[in-house]
Amino acid sequence: MPTVLLTGATGYVGGRLAPRLAGAADASDGAELRLMMRRPDPAKAPAGARVRVVQGDAVSGEGVAAALDGVDVAYYLIHSMGRGGGADFEARDRRAAAGFGRAAAAAGVRRVIYLGGLSSEDASSAHLRSRDEVAELLGEHVPEFVHVRAAMVIGAGSASFQMLRALVRRLPAMICPRWIDTRTQPIAIDDVVAALAQVGARHDVTGDVQLGGPAPLTYRAMMDRTADAMGRRHPLVVRVPVLTPRLSSYWVQLVTPVEAALVRPLVDGLREEMLVHEPPPPGINAAPRDFDAAVRSALDGR
């Protein structure tokens, strides 16, 4: 039975995935789930007889080799953007991914699963380019690398959804650039977590796994439908031909609770279409939740 390492266990996605992996470990004789944290805190771990918290810092490399020792499957849910990394999050993520990949190879880890963004190869966003670079660095070192690529995640703890909700709640009118009509395929957090858990056990699945909701939506449509779910009027949107990501991020920072270090790269990424071009393998994200149901769940705090 596998020993699984989950990094980013205290983050939003990792925190939702950990209980599911803990349940699977308890149901399998000999399995173990390790949760790697920079500052280990057993109180942040889900209940489970086969769950162990270990110390490890991917950026500094401290404790990573020990955390990976004997591991069969590792989840890499780490990024520096908005987490004290400052403007140099790309260099920090590059260093962390390269070090983790080398340590995984030295430990004989056969499978690494990474959650990145659903963007094109020529993405102009530094945030999305960095995500793709991390995938390349990790994939160089393990025989079974899985790059799970998701569009905007809809959930109470998703920074992108928090921005969307705050804009609808606080701005009856807004000036937006062309990204207001960019298409994406937003996906519910539960569907992302389910897919991540599935690919951990599906050794027939490697390479890119693209995840999205059932239908493409523009950001304008997402604002209107979020307003409907919140019982508010649709915001008046005035589209202008020129408004740089920097200027957009300034007014987004004024009205959203998302930390400033996250807002700029997230707004920058809104210019990119995030669409599923290759369906995921059979059985993975086969019936994704629709946008309206995902928003209602997020508004309820899930």
- Phi and psi for 114 in degrees, rounded to 5? -125, 140
CB count, 10 Å around CB of 197?
17
Q: What is the pLDDT of residue 179?
A: 80
* Rounded Cα gap, residues 99 and 93, in angstroms: 10
* Rounded Cα gap, residues 117 and 130, in angstroms: 10
Average pLDDT (206-214) is 97
pLDDT tens profile 6-44: 999 999 999 999 999 999 998 888 899 999 999 999 999
Nearest residue to 259 via CA among 166, 132, 152: 166
* Rounded Cα gap, residues 36 and 129, in angstroms: 25
* 3-154+186-212+274-285 is classed CATH 3.90.550.10: no
Four-point Cα dihedral 72, 77, 83, 85, nearest 10: 70
Q: What is the pLDDT of residue 80?
A: 74
Contact 30, 59 (CB under 8 A): no
pTM passes above 0.85: yes
The segment with the largest mean pLDDT, out of 107-116, 165-174, 175-184, 267-276, is 107-116
Burial class (CB in 10 A: 0-12, 13-18, 19+), 3: buried
Lowest mean pLDDT among 45-54, 67-76, 205-214, 232-241: 232-241
Q: What is the pLDDT of residue 27?
A: 84
Average pLDDT, the chain: 90
Q: What is the pLDDT of residue 247?
A: 64
Q: What is the DSSP letter of 88?
A: G
Nearest residue to 296 via CA among 159, 194, 154: 154
pLDDT tens profile 41-97: 999 999 888 999 999 999 999 999 999 999 999 999 998 765 554 558 889 999 999
pLDDT tens profile 242-289: 656 666 676 677 778 887 777 777 877 777 899 999 999 999 999 999
pLDDT tens profile 109-124: 999 999 999 876 666 6
Q: What is the pLDDT of residue 175?
A: 78
Q: What is the pLDDT of residue 85?
A: 47
**Strand 32-37 with 51-55, pairing:** parallel
